[in-house]
Amino acid sequence: MRLFIISCLLFASALAQTVCSGKVEAYETCDKCKCSGIELVKNPHHSYGVTLRQCTEDAYADGHTFFSYRADGECVYGSYDGLDFSEEVACTTSKFAPTEWAWKIYRLECLAHPCYGIMSETQVCTNCKCNGASKRTAQPYKTKEHCEFHAFSEGYNYYNWRGDRELCVFADDDSCTTDKIIGVNHEWGIYEMSCDEPVCEPHVGLFLNGVPAGAVNCVSGNSCSFETAMDYCSTLSNCGGVVLDGGEYQVRSGTTLITSTTGDVSWLKADCENTEDWYTYLTGPCRTASNGQGTFLLSIISSTIEGCRAECVTSNACVAWEFNPVNGRCEIHTETITHSSPGTSATTICGIPKWTPFDPFASP
């Protein structure tokens, strides 16, 4: 399916949402309690029948730190008629407790991904599990992405995941390799994680000042992945580098490294390798797994390969870009691309990021 829309309109709408470059964690702050005022059901952000994951995703994307959630799928956040149901006082000192129903209050936080380079994983085997993996030893993480994130954060090279029961287990190398158990339920799988070396040296405990004039992406409240932020920085003449600040990768104008008291990490643009190396270039138009053209935006503002690639960088939805130098056609793809079709057009180039987009939302 082709979608022909002026690209900048889509990009502008994406800026309205809060984006986390790592994982959005929802911490339960109290049980049988709710933020004060949420009984006002006319609140536009009062919904029913949603999962805790969806409530977490929606509340964070709307820019809130707290939300109330009931076990039957009732989710409340935001404000109505001058009352804010997600502000700190309403959800802490002024919260309503105890509640008759199973309400809980959750606090949201963006956790930076511990891999500064390119994260990848390989499934070692199927019908197998690490020695000792069971429901009794499982971690409290209910999505595969969340399991990987925390396993890597805690220093493991492997993790176990059983999809039908949402079981996540961390284990040492021997338990998952030489001592692994085979012939178990087919839902079990062992996964090995790896983090490629960062393309440029991180400066831990240091930050860069200033926001580049005119920067609209990869700034506070609209964070990007590290690769996207640095690639965007490379398109700005007044950008000095990228800072990991409060879980968000942001472009900065400064070039002088300053001591941070909050654990910031910085990368200088001048130290980085060519960001063009972060893409796989294929000959021919981009194609999906079904050999289709997929969903894409036809750009009306980019007529060079550099401009097309830069336009992809400014879109959180972009998973690949396609450019034909003969007619200057640029496509920004939003559906997963797996290969190209060189027989269709030998002059067209399909560019796919080498990193895997990381889902920041996961159930607590």
**182: domain CATH number?**
3.50.4
Question: Could you say which of 219, 243, 269 is where a domain stops?
Answer: 269
Residue 10: predicted pLDDT:
29
- Helix locations, the chain, DSSP H: 7-14, 52-61, 88-91, 144-153, 173-176, 226-234, 305-313
* Same domain for 178 and 155: yes
Residue 348 belongs to some domain of the structure: yes
* Same domain for 100 and 41: yes
Residue 56 belongs to some domain of the structure: yes
Residue 234 has pLDDT above 90, yes or no: no
Q: Write out the two tokens for 78.
A: 């935001």
* Same domain for 227 and 300: no
Q: Which of 244-258, 315-329, 333-347, 350-364 has the lowest mean pLDDT?
A: 350-364
- Helix locations, 64-124, DSSP H: 88-91
* Nearest alpha carbon to residue 85 among 23, 30, 42: 42
Residue 207 belongs to some domain of the structure: yes
d(CA 20, CA 358): 10
Q: What is the mean pLDDT of residues 57-63?
A: 84
- Non-local CB neighbours of 19 within 8 Å, separated by 6+ positions: 61, 221, 222, 223, 224, 248, 316, 360
User: Which is it for the CA torsion 357, 361, 363, 364, positive or negative?
Assistant: positive
Residue 112: predicted pLDDT:
67
Residue 145: predicted pLDDT:
80
d(CA 110, CA 133): 29
Q: Which of 37-41, 59-63, 308-312, 339-343 has the lowest mean pLDDT?
A: 37-41
Question: Could you say which of 195, 220, 250 is where a domain stops?
Answer: 195
Q: What is the mean pLDDT of residues 89-98?
A: 92
Residue 359 belongs to some domain of the structure: no
Q: State which residues form the domain around 337.
A: 278-353
Residue 314: predicted pLDDT:
60
Q: Which residue has the tokens 């935006």?
A: 297
Q: What is the mean pLDDT of residues 108-126?
A: 78
Residue 224 has pLDDT above 60, yes or no: yes
Residue 120: predicted pLDDT:
78
Residue 149: predicted pLDDT:
85
Residue 140 has pLDDT above 50, yes or no: yes
Per DSSP, 191 falls in state E
Residue 45 belongs to some domain of the structure: yes
Looking at the structure of the chain, the number of domains it has is 4
Residue 363 belongs to some domain of the structure: no
Question: Could you say which of 150, 178, 195 is where a domain stops?
Answer: 195
Residue 213 has pLDDT above 90, yes or no: yes
Cα distances (angstroms) measured from residue 200 to each of 118, 188, 310, 314, 333 = 12, 37, 20, 21, 27
Longest CA pairwise span in the chain (Å): 68
Residue 360: predicted pLDDT:
40
Residue 276 has pLDDT above 80, yes or no: no
End-to-end Cα separation, the chain, in angstroms = 35
Confidence of residue 273 (pLDDT cuts 50, 70, 90): low
d(CA 198, CA 37): 47
* Same domain for 141 and 180: yes
